[in-house]
Amino acid sequence: MAMMMKTRNRAVSRGALLLALCVLALATGCREGALSYEYADTSQVPTPGQTTPDEGGKDNNQSPDDPLEDPPIVIPDGPMAGRSPMRLLTRYEYDNTTSALFGFTIAAAADFPSENLADGFENNAWTHNVNMTLLRAYINASESISARAWEDPPAALSGCVGNAPSSALCQEGIADFVTQAFRRPAYDDEVALYQKLYRDMRSSDGARAAFETTVQAILQSPQFLYRLELFEPSPMKLPPRDGGMDAERFELVGPYEMASRLSYFIWGTMPDDELLAAAERGDLNTPEVLSAQVARMLADPRAKEMTRQFHRQWLGLDAFGSVVKDETAFPVWEDGMSQDLRLSIEAFIEHVYWEEGVFDAFMTSPAVFLTPELAPVYGKAVNEQSGGLWREDFPAEERAGILTQPGMMALLAYPNQGSPIFRAIWVRERLLCQHMPPPPSDIQIEPPDPDPNATTREVFAIHTANEACAECHLLIDPLGFGFEGYDALGRWRDVENGKAVDTSGELIGSPEQAMNGPFDGAVELANRLADSETIAKCISKQWFTFAMGRPHDTSDADSMSRIYEQFLQNDTAFTALFEAIVLSDSFRYRKRPEVAQAEFEEANPDLVAMETPAEEQGGE
Amino acid sequence: MIKKRFGRRHFLRGMGGVAFALPLLSTGIVARDARAETTTEGVTFPKRFVFMIHPNGVIPQAWFPTRGASGEDSDFQLGETHAPLEPLKDKLLLLENVNLEVGNWDRAVGPGEPHQKGMGGILTGRTLNDGQFVGGDGSRAGWGSGQSIDHYLAERVGKNTPLPTLHVGVRADSHIGSEVRSRVSYTASNQPAPPLNDPVDVFNLMFTDAMTDPGAMDEIKRRRGSVLDTVGSQFDSVYKRAGYEDRLTLERHLKMVRDLESRLSAEGGGIGGDCEKPDTPPSLEVDSEDTMPQIATEHLDLVALALACDMTRFVTLQFSNSKNGLRYPWVDSFGDGHGLSHAGPSNETAAKELRARDRWHAQQAAYLLQKLDEIPEGDGTLLDNTVFVWCSEIAVGNTHSHRNLPILMAGSAGGYFKTGRFVSYGSERSTNDLLVNILNAFGQDVETYGDPQYCNGPLSGLT
């Protein structure tokens, strides 16, 4: 009885989901060309002076039959830099920063509400923002940290604690500490506000309260919580390179701001002493110095944290916390294995990025990292000497890269069966940077009532038998079917319910014709895509998004092409990708304040009318 | 139910059976907006709005009541789903033929797929922004594009409560984290308010201080006030050196800092306030099917306490999210929630599991509403001064329709709503209309809310 019910659930979960999706996609007029993709490379971006092309790069929200509705954009000559909005520290950035600042670790941000996501990333400048719950959490965190700091003060504030600390000495220390906390020299008026708080609290409540409240105020101030690039001319001046940046419109990002861009990108924390010293000297302005810093930082173990955090977000690894598997269908499964699978993926990433170091390994490495609990699930003996996590190289026919990692297959699945849909959409969205067109506006709904006893394949057949359904589903189903060789736990299988598994699939609609076509099994797909430009470009784009805290836009087109070129020319070494991002114009330059202001005013006349008079512009 | 006069202390059973005392509600604490309060014998009680949502629709045959022979609105039998609410029947108000018009996906209405639209549109009354969240069918949408009514009300009513709003989640972020399918409450367009999934976090939000000594509390409040004052000045300092785009961000943050400051310094307010703090909830695995029922109970206890102590007037309670990859093993439902909801009407196995889940949700509602109904306020109870709304982001999982959204209300908001009825609308109405009713109940003289093209004014026949 239980088995029968389970079979019905299989049909319910998989088949009904697909039928419902089919209903949603009826008469959608999907066709291969309707997939849009977001990587802006030079072949898509118009040459200077031209308007946007009318092929490729179609707006995602347009029906395939409509012409572009947006007015043509004229792209100015030469390279450009995009926006650099202020960025709220994410949870792990907050914890890393407070650890570095105070010299002790209180993981206070574990209690913060989770960040709002944008394309899976937590650090989007506009999407990750404050709310009332977070503000209260900041209060709590700052109070815990300040209490601990009284016992264990950072060097700059050591003059503030103890039995009878000197108020004058403490206030000097506050000035130093604020500069560290702000990651830049503080202005006198900024420091003065904290010093006043200290003095007032000292006389009303005593030395300890004065110290703690001052620390709390620093930790809740915008200059601490945000990476804010001040609206003042950058002191780093370089003549533009030939044919390069338009010096009338763009300038180098300021030295301390560059230090923060580097440290938060590569280490997820505030700049270290060496970066701050370089900033003070005004050194972070040439490609040579930047390359040297990048190399130094990548050699530091904190850089591994960067790749771990990136992949946690990009691959959605937090969802492992929600994964359960049906113990009746999979008696071998135990609670806690999803956490092991997460470690397995993290170890794979670390191996591919830091030991193999190239994109090809990401796509084709047969390495799978196992724990003593996982080993028997995937048919391997426990390695007693391993210290809990070790590498196994699986047969090349069974495993190739990220596409076939057991953890990913288990994540992209239901409790009791795999999901071709989840897997296909993941490949499209995350690896190919493609997304589906929306259903059209004239759908008629016929509520589906699938036979609960139908097998999955019978249900699938209804999709492709119906012409209207088939058009869209050809973009998903055949791609997902190629993964049928991996069950809900990500185990390799060649039989299912006594029958040979059919792993034939097809990729259509990718931007490279050479990548399209039938394939048999995800391993073949992985090897084919390893030679693909599309995924390599998509990965460049994802890293750019992560590094910049925003997706790329048309003004980053030149930077994106150069980044990608560097990646390719260095045999897709990841270190080359990271360096290329740092050396790109988008990372190093920004619009000059007066240009940004003029453009903003032009675009937002109503807002400007409300602004206070513009005697506030630039620094002191 | 013995009605107690104002002036005595009343007790609620809290976590682990520990009794805690309710505050003496003095007129100094409650808001001065007479229309958002109920006054009995010169004593004023605030009105509250509580919103509960569970994902992926219901089994309509089990949800909707059956009418009696007389055809009167008050003559009906509760659907099987709502059996746990039978004792409160005369305080319930069920609706029929109210559509989530800003979702209505069989007519093109904004970006996104039905789940995204439902979550982002139910309390905002608006279609979604464009954006990059990928829905179940590959559609893309952004966040909700307007302020939800809980925040609208919080800006106008009960401005001295320590928490403007309280958002509680039971596995609300499972599988997908914070995105449009897991948020219903918005401070503004693109500004979602996150639910707290861990009862310990909710507890800490409500009771951040170990002190119950009023003198110590005053000291804390004063110091916090000084800190926030300095922080506010830093905003001013940075503002003049920031770019125009950044100024908008700074302003938004500063506004919240000021709001926080004023609530913390409010007379009789402040975190903790006059409420005796109960024991800390147990620290449980938060995203787990093993602890889900227990966590739900902890949350419901805290919500009741927050309302009784006037820590907030506006609560959202969210079960799961619209991706809903959850099993409910304690009601013998082992299928994936979303997959089950897609089953057609012939699939009796799936229907049975879904009915069991719906029934469990009703038990949660009953637990909370019963608790609220045990707290005397004047001649009535806290529940009488509340309007509670429970619905889902789509009507039926199989069709994804937004027509005839399942809506159950409870509480009369201080006698504003005439409860104990099943009201059916002859021509289709919009959930935006219901939002207007709720605002009107709080004394807000509005005739429309959200996008006016999906709003026809308040629903008739509810008062």
CA distances from A229 to A65, A303, A415, A580 (A): 43, 24, 46, 22
Q: Which residues of B touch A601 (CB under 8 A)?
A: 244
Using an 8 Å Cβ cutoff, are B336 and A13 in contact? yes
For residue B90, pLDDT beyond 90 = yes
Partner-chain residue, chosen from B131, B233, B246, that has the shortest CB–CB distance to A193: B233
For residue B406, pLDDT beyond 60 = yes
- Percent of chain B beyond pLDDT 90? 70
> Are β-strands A226-227 and A589-591 bridged in parallel, bridged antiparallel, or unpaired?
unpaired
> Are β-strands B314-319 and B166-170 bridged in parallel, bridged antiparallel, or unpaired?
parallel
Mean pLDDT of chain B: 87
What span, in angstroms and rounded, lies between the C-alpha atoms of B203 and B201?
A: 5
pLDDT of residue A114: 93
Q: Which residues of A touch B113 (CB under 8 A)?
A: 24, 439
* Closest CA in chain A for residue B175: A319
Mean pLDDT score, B380-403: 94
For residue B17, pLDDT beyond 70 = no
What span, in angstroms and rounded, lies between the C-alpha atoms of B216 and A245?
A: 60
Q: Which residues of A touch B325 (CB under 8 A)?
A: 322, 414
pTM over 0.95: no
Provide the angle, in degrees to the nearest 10, between the axes of the packed helices A207-219 and A188-205.
150
Q: Does B197 touch chain A (CB under 8 A)?
A: no
Mean pLDDT score, B243-265: 89
pLDDT of residue B305: 92
Q: Does B217 touch chain A (CB under 8 A)?
A: no
Q: Which residues of A touch B194 (CB under 8 A)?
A: 113-114, 116, 131, 133-134
Whether A442 and B108 lie within 8 Å, measured CB to CB: yes
- Tell which A residues from 406 to 425 touch B, by Cβ distance under 8 Å: 414-416, 425
* ipTM of the complex model: 0.87
Distance from the Cα of residue B12 to its chain's centroid: 21
Q: Which residues contact B158 (CB under 8 A, 6 or more apart)?
A: B30, B31, B36, B46, B164, B310, B312, B313, B314
Q: Does B320 touch chain A (CB under 8 A)?
A: no
Q: Which residues of A touch B260 (CB under 8 A)?
A: 132, 135-136
Q: Beta partners for B54?
A: B392
Partner-chain residue, chosen from A220, A438, A607, that has the shortest CB–CB distance to B139: A438
pLDDT of residue A28: 36
Give me the residue label for tokens 């009771």: B207
Q: How many angstroms separate the CA of residue B79 from the nearest CA in chain A?
A: 23
Using an 8 Å Cβ cutoff, are B181 and B116 in contact? yes
Partner-chain residue, chosen from B111, B173, B205, that has the shortest CB–CB distance to A114: B173
Whether A444 and B228 lie within 8 Å, measured CB to CB: no
Query: What's the burial of A289, exposed, middle or buried (CB within 10 Å: 0-12/13-18/19+)?
Result: middle
Q: How many angstroms separate the CA of residue B364 from the nearest CA in chain A?
A: 22
Residues of chain A with pLDDT under 50: 1-34, 37-78, 242, 445, 611-620
pLDDT, one tens digit per residue, over B197-225 is 999 999 988 886 544 567 777 888 899 99
pLDDT of residue A620: 32
Q: What confidence category does residue B352 fall into, taking pLDDT thresholds of 50, 70 and 90?
A: very high
Q: Which residues of B touch A19 (CB under 8 A)?
A: 342
CA dihedral angle for residue B282, residue B285, residue B289, residue B295, rounded to 10 degrees:
30
